[in-house]
Structure 1
Amino acid sequence: MDGLTTLRVIRRPRALNKFIADNSLGREDEQRRKSYEKRYRVMAEHQADVVCCWLPDTTLTFVNEAYCRLTGKSETELLGRPWLSLIPPDAREEVRVFYEALAAAPRVCLYEHEVTGADGRTVLMQWIDAPIFDEAGDLLEFQSTGRDITAHRKALMDLQDSEERFRTFMSHLPALAFIKDERSRVLFTNRAMNELMGSENWVGRDALQNLPEEVAAKILEQDRQVIEGGKPVLIEEAIPVKSGETRIFETRKFPIGREGKPPLLGAIALDVTEKRRAEEALLASEERYRLLAEASRDFIFVLDRDDRFVYVNSASENVTGKKPAELIGRKRASLDVPPEMLARQKEANETVFAGGEPLSVEGQFLMGKGGRPAWHNVTLVPLKNGSGEVHALLGVARDVTESRERAQRLEEANVALKVLLRHREEDRRELEERFLTNFRKLIMPSLEKLRKTGLTPRQAAYVDVVEMNVRKVFSASGAAAGLVQASLTPIETRIVAFIREDKTNKEIGSLLNLSPRTVEYYRDRIRKKLGLKGKNVSLRSYLYSLS
């Protein structure tokens, strides 16, 4: 009953009941009664289980030694006392109702209830209650045989709690988990496996019934090796899932030993598909970058925090004179460069390690061909681990010695060119001054004489124009350059020339067939282009200042 061994019911013989009731029995019958009584008592006393007899009102008529030990009371204290008083108060009413019903309809039954034990603790007892009838079929009393199931019930509840914790844990485990028997038949699958594999109906079936044959055959062989070998294994396998996609799993299978029974097989599988794809992509990327690094003419290297080369590309031989095998695993000092170069490079490296930011420096860090110091532009990039700490740095060193020498030669050429241009400017000014001197000595006196010959106003104006244009031809001064930079129109340029000759608006208009108002408009535009708008500066004075 309920997984327990059925307890033996010890019944008092009906003949004994008759002997007890019949006072007219003779000595022979009395001896027979005593013999039955003794035999019954011996059987009851030697029972490991608790035995008692009681009337329908729960008054005890017989208790064995086990019953006395259970309650902590003697036989004298118990007989004639209702056993219902030994029930804990909070459970007493429920027990009373049950046994009243049993007394009304006597039958053999199995019942569990609590009893207050000898030390005051509550004991859970399982009872087999059997009615005893007289020869007329009337109920005389009940015989109860009980067993302490407190520990058993606690163990059962602990087992249920353990199973519940196990199922809760498994249902929230992100990995796939399952258990198989010794024949590789599925006994349990967790929620993650059900969702991914659709394994709700796999229980009781093996891999051949759940997966493609070629996949199932490998799985069954692995299961067999674990069961027979008795050791856990870690395998990687590709298995189709419910969606039809094939995923990669890292599965740990292990035996679960059982005393006296064949071992079970447990397994936890992690879906590593994305991890493997990422690793493959990383390897492909690393290979591409390695090929790029090896093809580069720049010296590319990786240094760890101990100042050791973790990687150098093949350009190391051309740049440093050493092959990669001679540098990898060795410290930077193995480059055989002067201490001051090592110190400069170390300072830059420590800056990157400390700050965690890329750095670009240029200087003499390595020796070039012929054993002379070479100039390199070095870019240092920090390499960080998963926690964000800089564990190494990537360096790219480009030899810029030739470009620096070219730049130096170009700078020297520029200096020489500037000296040459300065001399050319001095020659130009000297020539200009010579032309101006000749203009003043040879042409200006003739023009002055011409003005004194009684010219008409128009003729005098033309003489002025001639003088102005001659001045323009012989003057290569900064005034012309300044006016050109002002982007003057041809008409504005002519008006500027007349203004410099101190002509009025009326005179300029007469010479250019313009009204004085129009000349004033052009003067205003010229001031604006020369940046004189809103300034208290005479246009004529400004134009003379450019000379």
Structure 2
Amino acid sequence: MTTDSKKSRHDLEAELAILQGRLRVLVDGSPLGIFFDDAEDKCVFVNRTFCEMMGLSERDALGDGWARTVHPQDLPRLLSERAGAVTRGEPLFRSEYRYSRPDGRVGWVEEQTRPVHAPDGNLLGYVGTLAEISGRKEEEALRARHSEVLEERVRERTAELLAQTERLAEMNTALKVLLRQREEDREDLEQVVLANVRRRISPTLDRLQGLCVGEEARLLADELRRSLKELTEPFCHRLSTVCQGLTPAEIQVAELIREGLGTKEIAARLGVGASTIDTHRHHLRRKLGLKDRRDGLRSHLLSLES
């Protein structure tokens, strides 16, 4: 080898060393951890960022040494996903997993790996990067905790609202029962008042009017009868409304039947014969649609009053 050839080779080696040095500076200065695995998936190169991120020396990271820093709960999944990506020939493999450094620090990284092929197509190995994502994962965990707290509060509030709804429903049911009972009590009171007026006051008034002599006594008796009618007329309003197809005499008989008076008592009250009352009863049953004799006329009339 001539002197010129030796000098030329020396210059090339020096230039190559300079380029390698510059490349190493660029690779070590990257904010991403960079690694290269050979075709057998053995690590043959890591940059300085990778070593700082994983808390390993370059020598300890080579081969399978990097795997010691992967969290033991995540390593089986990572290896399985990597093998699956290689089998499927995927052009890009991505995965997120936890690391556990020798100094006890635990964090998260995102790995992205691509296969590298020679010009002839043969697989040379895999080049990959690691990005520190611990901060992002902490934010995600914080949002998840906040979401869980919010969901728990929503569940608690929903349970409270459901309980309040149930209590309101119970109160509403109780109120309906009370109102229905009050209505029934009012109707019972109306019937008692009406019955007392018809059974006790009206007959007494009839006898009293028969004993009264003179125009002034007659006027007072008429005024008293009108007052009683005004008092009891609202109580009979519903019965009269339902029974609009009845004649005034039939309505009068119906009211007395509802009060519990028998045929002879009604006839005496109205000053007519018992046969007339029987005829009114027959007409009432026909107009009210009571074809079966077992259907009580008084019971039906009382039901119209409620």
TM category, shorter:
0.3 to 0.5
Structure with higher helix content: 2
TM-score (norm 2): 0.43
Greater gyration radius: 1
TM-score (norm 1): 0.25
Q: With a CA cutoff of 8 Å and minimum separation of 6, indicate the structure with the bigger relative contact order.
A: 2
